[in-house]
Amino acid sequence: MNEPAAQASRSQSLHLVLAVLLVVYIFNFLDRQIVNILAEPIRRDLGLSDTQIGLMTGIAFAAFYTFLGIPIARFADKPSTNRVGLIAGALVIWSAMTALCGQAQSFLQLLLARIGVGVGEAGCSPAAHSLIADLAPPEKRASAMANYALGIPVGTLLGMLIGGLLADSWGWRMAFVVVGLPGILLAAVVLLLLRDPRCAKALRSAPSPHLPRTLSNREALAEILGSRAYVLVVAAGSAAAFLSYGKATWTTIFFQRTHGLSAGETGFWFGIWGGIAAIVGTFSGGWLADRFGKVNRQHVLTAPAIGFAVAVPLAIASYVMTDWRWALALLMIPTLLNSLYYGPCFSSAQGLVKPEARAMASAVLLFSQNLIGLGLGPLFFGMLSDWIKPVAGDESVRWVLYGAAVIGFVPAFFFWRASLRLNEELDRKGP
């Protein structure tokens, strides 16, 4: 096959992979985040505290998601592993466990079902990131990662919208069942449409001197942690996730508890407008990184650094508003700005390591993001709300969100520090 034809084939393959993986990731975040809009009805039904909500929405999922992500990523990095099959199997597990959440009769049962969702979802993103990085050329990698990352705002939007409407109409239990079961059918579609280009058959047909070598655990960790820029990206991404997951849970509760909206109203208004803002921000972040990164690699992370800093006063202003409409309108801008980071963050992580350690690089970044962000963000803000409730009363969540807004300077600082090292380090390991 001549070079233009080979490039066209590769481009078509990348487009198909990105389209299918985007749908998978939408289901990933739909099943993961629907619990946020359902948290208040669940709290009333099961008599939970704000701390228990934080445990259910955060650490119960994140603990198993993060700790299983590392060994699954090592498995995904093996040349003989079929990453498509791994993603499909993970999809079946987390979809089934999401449906089981609707059968929970106690806090413990719901906690165990959420753990099951985390176990399944641990197999998705490291393998998906590795697959995308193998197919996308370095100059288009941030946009490709951002395309995959659109699953976050779209899945969250659908979770808010569908979850809220179903909760108001049929109850929170049916909401879990309705969003969970279709994922099992999607797994069959994934197996039907996608093929791993690094499949075992292709490897067996290649001459043995050209077979890629699997790095040991020590070598893989040394590879990724040997990059100062990568370590700073992990710190920035973790701080960003801490705010993202923490505010996602408690902002939905804020609109219900402080502004008096129902779960359905919150899911509709906040889900749609917040989702649109996050979609625009995620797409723009990848485009800006590729556009200005061509001029200076440092600018791959410039937009996230500026975005998080500018979002701080705007977020505070939105939480001050007493009219929920003004609060929602103002909140759209910081939501957009805080969504610029995903494509630049994960494309940088992939470019800073050898191809043999790419799934591991994503897994370590996801480990830190989800343990600190998803695990501790909702829990920390929930504990803080319970702690200040004797003083703040029903306004405790509003005051917690003020503090969350100010923490936005932390990821801004780390993204800026990481950007200073990208010219020296990015893609020095090869395409």
Rounded Cα distance, 185 and 139, in Å? 34
Chain-centroid distance, C-alpha 206: 36
Rounded Cα distance, 91 and 99, in Å? 12
Rounded Cα distance, 271 and 373, in Å? 20
pLDDT at 364: 84
CB atoms within 10 A of CB 174: 13
pLDDT at 204: 46
Chain-centroid distance, C-alpha 352: 20
pLDDT at 7: 47
319, amino acid identity: Y
The answer to whether 114 and 63 have CB atoms below 8 angstroms apart is: no
pLDDT at 379: 79
pLDDT at 331: 93
What share of residues in the chain are helix, strand, coil (percent, to 5)? 85, 0, 15
For 291, counting Cβ atoms within 10 Å of its Cβ (0-12 exposed, 13-18 middle, 19+ buried), the class is middle
The answer to whether 154 and 272 have CB atoms below 8 angstroms apart is: no
pLDDT at 412: 97
pLDDT at 74: 78
Nearest residue to 183 (alpha-carbon basis) of 159, 210, 161, 206 = 159
pLDDT in tens, the chain (431 residues): 444 444 444 445 888 999 999 999 999 988 887 887 788 888 888 888 877 877 777 777 777 777 787 788 778 878 888 899 999 999 999 999 999 998 888 888 888 888 888 888 888 888 898 888 888 887 788 889 889 989 988 988 888 888 888 888 888 899 999 989 999 999 999 999 998 887 644 544 444 444 455 666 677 778 788 889 999 999 999 999 998 888 877 888 889 888 888 877 887 888 788 889 989 999 999 999 989 988 888 899 999 999 999 999 999 999 999 999 999 999 999 999 999 998 899 888 888 887 777 777 877 887 888 778 777 787 788 888 889 988 888 888 899 999 999 999 999 999 999 999 988 887 555 45
Rounded Cα distance, 159 and 34, in Å? 4
pTM (predicted TM-score): 0.74
DSSP-assigned letter for residue 104: -
The answer to whether 366 and 125 have CB atoms below 8 angstroms apart is: yes
pLDDT at 6: 46
pLDDT at 246: 84
